Amino acid sequence: MSDTRADQQADAPAVKRTDAELAAASGRGDPAAFGELVLRHQDRAFNLAFRLTGSHEDAADAVQEAFLKAYRGMASFRRQSSFYTWLFRIVVNEVRSRQRSGSSRPAVFTLSSADGRSTGDPPDAAAGLRSTGPDPSEQASIAERRQIVEAALQSLEFDQRAIIALRDIEGRDYAEIAEMLGCPQGTVKSRLHRARMALKDSLAPKLGPMPQ
C-alpha cells in the first residue's frame, strides 16, 4: 500500500531502491536520490496540482515548491506513511496556501488537457490537431464534456476539489486521504460525499445520460 506501490509506478530497472531508501538517502543530503524520487512522483504530483489549480503554470510552481519543501523537510518524513502520501500532503498544502495568499492566479479554467495545450482554443480546433483519434467533431464532444467536468471541478471550494481529486482522480483510499488532508477518516467520508453531491448537482444538467 505504501512504498511498494509507489515503486511500481516508475520504470523498473533490475535493481532499484525503494522510495523509503531514496528518502532516507535524500535526508542524508543525497541529491541524486532525491532526483529519483522527483522523477518517480512528479507526474502524479503535477496532475494532482493541476486538478487543484486548473492551471499548468500554477501547478508547476506549486509542485516545484512542494518538492523543495519535501527535500528540506525530509527529516520530518516519518516512515509510517509512504513518501507518496507525504508528498501529496505537501502538494495539497502548498496549493491551498498559495490560493489563500493569492499568490496564485485566480483559478482559470484551462481548456481540455486532452491535447496538452492550454486555454482558449475551441475544442474542435484542438481536436483537429490529432491525427489518429476519432474525427474532429466527435473529439470535440469528448473535449467539451471534459471541459464541463473540469470547469465544474474548479468551481468547487478548495477542500471539496481536493478530496475529489484525491479520491476520484488519484484513486486513494479513505485512510490515505485522511492522512494527506490531515483529518479523520469520518471527515473524509462526509466531505467526500458533500463534494460529490455538489459536483453532481453542477454536472447533472450539463452532462448527458452517459458517464463520459
Supply the minimum distance, in Å, between the C-beta of residue 168 and another protein. Answer: 4
Residues 6+ apart with CB under 8 A from 55: 104, 105, 107, 108, 110, 118
User: Please, which residue, 96 or 133, has the CB nearer to another protein?
Assistant: 133
How many chain residues interact with another protein (CB under 8 A)?
84
Q: Apex CA 148: angle with CA 142 and CA 154, to 5°?
A: 135
Give the nearest distance from C-beta 100 to another protein in angstroms.
22
- Per-residue binding letters, 107-126, with another protein (x by CB under 8 A): -----xxxxx-x--------
* Shortest distance (Å) from residue 156 CB to another protein: 11
Report how far residue 139's alpha carbon sits from residue 191's, in angstroms, rounded to the nearest whole number: 34
Whether residue 180 contacts residue 191, with contact meaning beta carbons closer than 8 Å, is answered with no
Binding to another protein (CB under 8 A) within 79-108 occurs at none
d(CA 212, CA 207): 8
Restricting to residues 133-162, name those near another protein by CB under 8 A: 133-135, 138, 141-142, 145-146, 149-150, 153
- DSSP string over 106-160: P------GGGS--SS--HHHHHHT-SSSS-HHHHHHHHHHHHHHHHHHHHS-HHH
| Window of 39-47, 86-94, 96-104, 119-127 that interacts with another protein by CB under 8 A | 39-47
Sole window of 69-77, 86-94, 97-105, 119-127 interacting with another protein (rule: CB under 8 A): 69-77
Site for another protein in 168-197 (CB under 8 A): 168-174, 189, 192-193, 196-197
Q: Report if residue 75 touches another protein, rule: CB under 8 A.
A: yes
| DSSP structure class, residue 75 | G
C-alpha cell at 197: 453531491
